[in-house]
Structure 1
Amino acid sequence: MSRALRVGHQMDVADLPIVSLIIRPDARRLREAAIPELMPAHCRAARALLDWTQPQLAEAAGLGLSTVVDFERSRRAVSPEAVQAISRALESADVEFIAENGGGPGVRLKKAKRKAK
């Protein structure tokens, strides 16, 4: 069914094969790909939105206070596992990390779900 394309020959859209592919990506992978790394500024902004203190975040993440403080102040590199724990704690409190969209990555609270009447 394949036709060779000759120089100067115009191909019709009907000559092109139709390929259909449905991809249902894992939401977590998309989120991790969108914001590959939680930045200290994201963490501080998320805490501000939640009105959380550093000790509250440390408790929610299951980490020591010094880990949260050092991460937010960029004093030292904390482990990737600690950063993931911080991210999970904030996300479970309804913080949403926004991917780069031309204006830069950011943080917001998830939209409140309406209760059915």
Structure 2
Amino acid sequence: QRASRETRANPLLSFHYLLLYRGSKFGAEFRRFSLDRHKPGKFEDFYQLVVHTHHISNTEVTIGYADVHGDLLPINNDDNFCKAVSSANPLLRVFIQKRGTRRLSCSTCSAIILRKKCSF
């Protein structure tokens, strides 16, 4: 309940990005910023923001997020983007992977996040 009160009080949605490079060999780069959860905008604008933020404008990437069940789901159109934003409570972790590399599993993503959190 506390999280839902915080979400109602703060209409901004926090995004936590994890950029993954090349299938088996990857580095992690975290970025955080917020946008209005009630007016998140269009997927294409979100995609352009992500690639611009990470300075990967010349690289084709796939974007995904972990849903409440721990499944890694794609964000590749306006509908998926709206589902991802609506499922965030209050943080949405977004995973970015270079297109054409081996697909991630949520256990891989969780291990990277835990390793990064422990190094702070």
TM-score range, shorter chain: under 0.3
**Bigger radius of gyration:** 1
Q: Which has the higher contact order (CA 8 A, sep 6+)?
A: 2
| Greater share of helix | 1
